[in-house]
Chain A
Amino acid sequence: MFRFKKEQSIVNVAGVKFGGQPGELATVLCGTIFYQGHKIVQDEERGIYDRSAAERLVSRQAELSEETGNPAVLHLYARTIEALEKYLAFAELNWAGPIIIDSADATVRAAAAGLVSELGYADKTIYNSISVATDETEARAIRDSEVDSAILLAYNPTDSGVDGTLQVLEGGASMTKKGLIPLAEDLGITNVLIDPGVVPMGSGAGVALRFSVVAKARLGLPVGSGIHNAVSAWPWLGKKEKAIKRCCDAAASAMQLLAAGDFLLYGPIENAGFIFPAAAMADILVAESVRDLDIEPMANHPVNRLV
């Protein structure tokens, strides 16, 4: 593998570290709960869910994190702010680490930024996400909140290649007034995580892999992706049995890690059971490959715990 000439920044959110040179830190794994269509959710609007099932899923992720050394983040997806309030209350009782707040609805995301500030969770919250779709109302809500960590979704709808994706971050993409990185700075975001936005296979999913290396080389910021989206949106694979889908999901995750990924939005939290071992394995292989490149893995890295 390789090391970057540019210094690689390390972002610390509530004690969880993202970034660094490949092989230095364990990859951060973010499992989503209460997502659209999650079987444990009975009412997405009101946030009614099966509490004991949710507790089992969250504690399983925590156990696997403890076992492998891969830090974990709880990715909360909410359809409404009413639902998010309930999910945050659940996270407060059942999850000690960082959380990602997310919704497809910009008004919910904006309200969520205010809510976590009021509740005192802002310092452990990662806002998902700031993108070309972030309008002035959402921007104001982030600026007015105490949230200082965010994922920048660098998807460029007019040029989804590596160059176009970088343009969205740095400035110069025609559909935005300024790049997402300067925008995030304006909004008070000090902990920046980069996500290229993974499109389906056939539309350029693989771009995320090369982008990850290029973005770290140029920007020195932590990069990751939700590469599982490419796998789950692949109609051909959709007809195959579960075990085959899981193999592909694990393989895609490992590929993202091999391409210098610092974090993985690995999708449904149910997948923790096979994603954590796959990621830990990829982390070990990467760490061993760069040992003579003056990169020392951290004490809790899987290479120091599992082999």
Chain B
Amino acid sequence: MAEEPPQKKSFDESWPPVRGEYAIGDPNAGVAVVTLASQLHVRGAAIIGPCKTENLGVEKIVANVISNCNIRFLLLCGAESKGHLPGNTILALHKNGIDEQGRIIGSKGAIPFIQNLVPGAVLRFQEQVQLIDFIGLEDEAKIAELVEIYNRQAEPYPMEPFQVVKKKTPMKSVLAGEGDLFLGSGVVMDSNAWLVLA
């Protein structure tokens, strides 16, 4: 009798990889919920939490979604965060991606940039999940209903979980100049005189 191939893991034990202000539900569920500026509590989702910023907040969502292949739907609900517009930004990221500077194309948010995701993460996000746009909806019962509906439709994404490794800040060598303590950017301190020089 032939041995069955080992079953592919949809997520690592360490999932979700990025810490944040979210609640973990069932990691085998197919829906993740972003409640934007609202604090909502709904059962049945893989992960649920707010997102108030159009840059770092969005990056965290992408990282935690694509590292779990079970998540196939990202439900956007709750009140939009004024000015920052993370809901609009997630929609724009999914639709248009980013330009060469990391700017999220078409976002109306204030500073919509992706800085910390490795190349390929955005493409994977676009391919793995479908966005369900209910921005403005704060009715927890209706959101729970939607989670249930989309959970039933979800099939795991047929790839390995995408691990987002944070880009490391490159180390720079610092020239001593006149000082003996270095603050970077050409600024040094002469600790005998406690003088900071640029």
Contact = CB atoms under 8 A, between A and B. Distances in A.
Interface of A: 1-6, 36, 79, 103-106, 131-133, 155, 157-163, 166, 174-175, 199-200, 202-203, 210, 213-214, 216-218, 233, 235-236, 238, 290, 293
Given A103-B83, A175-B101, A203-B116, A133 B111 contact: yes
B19 A235 contact: yes
19 contacts: A2-B189, A79-B82, A104-B82, A104-B83, A104-B84, A104-B110, A105-B83, A106-B110, A131-B111, A155-B111, A157-B115, A160-B115, A163-B184, A166-B185, A214-B187, A214-B198, A218-B198, A233-B21, A290-B194
Contacts of A217: 183, 187, 196-198
Interface residues of B, number: 32
Interface of A is mostly: loop
B21 A238 contact: yes
Contact of A218 (B110, B116, B169, B185): B185
Interface in B66-86: 81-84
A3 B195 contact: yes
A152 to B, nearest CB: 14
B194 A157 contact: no
Contacts of B103: 175
Nearest to A161: B169
B99 to A, nearest CB: 10
Contact of A1 (B111, B187, B194): B194
B56 interface: yes
Residue among B21, B112, B184, B187 with the highest chain A CB neighbour number at 10 A: B187
Contacts of A158: 101-102, 113, 115
Contacts of A213: 183, 187, 196
Contact of A200 (B56, B184, B195): B56
A122 to B, nearest CB: 23
B196 A4 contact: yes
Given A2-B195, A131-B111, A158-B113, 18 more contacts: A2-B196, A5-B196, A36-B37, A105-B82, A105-B83, A155-B111, A157-B115, A158-B101, A160-B115, A161-B169, A174-B101, A175-B113, A210-B183, A213-B183, A213-B187, A217-B196, A218-B185, A235-B19
